[in-house]
């Protein structure tokens, strides 16, 4: 699929002020791409709000360091609640006293949707970029979203359908990762860069990027790898570690195994490790999307605490949790959750992916189709949607 033709400049009656608010690194990357594309249409526009290094490099005036918003987990949020409230108050005071033409909240829905709603109530156009998983759980949030935004920009097509069903203006723009990751990965180059044997199979193991995930899944995945080593002694095991802390944590788990496991730990480079793999064993999350875009068969395993699982299993309204399955609307990859996730079941599922050539080729072909569906030129599509909203409002 070809990307949209380059846009022409939009003739504006006056320079625009475009506000963007991102709260974490993934949002900073999205925001930078959007600013880049908006600048082509509006060369004299001013960009203001909250962003990180990427957005600032594209010309954003950040009112607050983005890392002050980058909090995850209930305990961390509670510990910083006063600061977050103060940041929101300062931001709203700025927007209401010097109103931008549009405010675009990028992900971080708990913070951004409240900002967007207040801006919209004050007559400022409001856009939200990256849908919260309202289609999966707490679906009544859609009514709050409908009051908060003039436009929702979604990364996945099934999300757009959900908003259309609820009467919320929406535009599916595609996923930036699908634009950046080549349609055909270079597995041999990735193996050469990592110093891996070109002729022996590779299993990439990704137990998560956070300490809590690694604590819950690390030993389980390593025991699965040990089971697999008994079936396939030629299997190369590689684990990318999000940072030095996760590398140390995983090394401790490896050292604690009863039997020595020949596993290579790599700091960072998760995409390179997946590109080098024949199969990926991983936790649910964005990594499943990257593995899909790299055309890698995968097995998804996940465990929560017993209480969290009981609560989540009652709230979640979708048949699958892995993004490839959600996008395909069928079970393309195995999902083994909670008690079903054991070393033997995960290992057997990986072994089947390694040895069932026909199924592996079917999965890769399906992943190619999904990649092409998401490869829309997201930066341009998002900028075009924002531009259309702005120009319509100014007529």
Q: What is the pLDDT of residue 138?
A: 67
Domain ranges within the chain, ordered by starting residue: 17-174+376-393, 187-374
Residues 6+ apart with CB under 8 A from 72: 210
How many CB atoms are closer than 10 A to CB 346?
25
Tell me whether domains 17-174+376-393 and 187-374 share a fold: yes
pLDDT of residue 7: 63
Give me the phi and psi of 76, to 5 degrees please. Answer: -65, -40
Do 170 and 152 contact (CB within 8 A), yes or no? Answer: yes
Give yes or no for a contact between 30 and 383, defined as CB atoms under 8 angstroms apart: no
The three-state DSSP-derived secondary structure of 189-224 is HHHHHHCCCCCCCEEEEECCCCHHHHHHHHHHHHHH
Output the CATH code of domain 187-374.
3.40.50.2000
CA distance readout (Å), 263 to 58, 272, 278 = 41, 16, 15
Nearest to 266 by CA among 350, 181, 206: 206
Of 307, 304, 381, 366, residue with least CA distance to 332? 366
Q: Note down pLDDT in tens along the chain; length 395 residues.
A: 444 555 656 555 578 999 999 988 889 999 999 999 999 999 999 999 999 999 999 999 999 998 877 654 444 455 567 888 899 999 999 999 999 999 999 998 989 999 999 999 999 999 999 999 886 566 788 999 999 999 999 999 999 999 999 999 999 999 999 999 999 999 999 999 999 999 999 999 999 888 888 998 999 999 999 999 999 999 999 999 989 999 999 999 999 998 889 999 999 999 999 999 999 999 988 899 999 999 999 999 987 766 665 655 665 656 677 899 999 989 999 999 878 999 999 999 999 999 999 999 999 999 999 999 999 999 999 999 999 999 998 77
Q: What is the pTM of this model?
A: 0.85
Q: How many CB atoms lie within 10 A of CB 230?
A: 10
Per-residue CA distances from 136 to 6, 139, 298 (Å): 35, 7, 22
17-174+376-393 in CATH: which number? 3.40.50.2000
Place of tokens 């048949």: 319
């Amino acid at each position: 699929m070809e990307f949209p033709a380059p846009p022409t400049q939009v003739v504006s009656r006056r320079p625009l002020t475009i506000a963007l608010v991102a709260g974490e690194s993934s949002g900073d990357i999205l925001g930078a791409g959007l600013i880049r594309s908006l600048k082509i249409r509006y060369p004299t526009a001013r960009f203001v709000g909250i962003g990180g290094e990427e957005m600032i490099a594209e010309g954003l005036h950040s009112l607050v360091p983005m890392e002050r918003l980058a909090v995850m987990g209930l305990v961390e949020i509670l510990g910083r609640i006063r600061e977050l409230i103060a940041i929101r108050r300062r931001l709203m005071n700025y927007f209401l006293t010097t109103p931008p033409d549009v405010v675009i909240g990028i992900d971080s829905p708990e913070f951004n949707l409240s900002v967007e709603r207040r801006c919209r109530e004050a007559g400022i156009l409001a856009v939200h970029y990256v849908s919260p998983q309202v289609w999966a759980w707490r679906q009544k949030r859609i009514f709050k979203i409908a009051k908060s935004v003039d436009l929702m920009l979604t990364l996945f097509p099934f999300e757009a359908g959900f908003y259309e069903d609820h009467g919320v203006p929406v535009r599916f723009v595609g996923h930036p990762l699908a634009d950046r990751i080549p349609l055909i990965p270079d597995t041999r180059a990735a193996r050469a860069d990592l110093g891996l044997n070109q002729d022996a199979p590779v299993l990439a193991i990704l137990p998560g990027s956070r300490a809590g995930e690694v604590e819950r899944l690390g030993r389980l995945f390593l025991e699965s790898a040990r089971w697999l080593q008994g079936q396939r002694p030629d299997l190369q095991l590689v684990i990318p570690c999000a940072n030095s802390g996760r590398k140390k944590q995983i090394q401790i788990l490896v050292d604690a195994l009863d039997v020595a496991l020949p596993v290579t730990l790599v700091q960072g480079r998760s995409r390179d490790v997946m590109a080098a793999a024949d199969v990926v064993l991983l936790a649910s999350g964005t990594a499943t999307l990257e593995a899909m875009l790299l055309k890698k068969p995968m097995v998804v395993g996940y465990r929560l605490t017993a209480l969290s699982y009981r609560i989540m299993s009652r709230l979640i309204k979708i048949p699958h949790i892995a993004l490839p399955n959600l996008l395909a609307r069928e079970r393309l990859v195995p999902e083994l959750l909670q008690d079903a996730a054991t070393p033997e079941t995960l290992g057997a599922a990986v072994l089947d992916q390694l040895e069932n050539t026909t199924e592996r080729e079917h999965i890769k072909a399906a992943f190619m189709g999904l990649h092409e569906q998401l490869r829309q030129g997201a930066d341009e599509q998002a900028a075009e949607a924002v531009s259309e909203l702005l120009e319509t409002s100014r007529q």
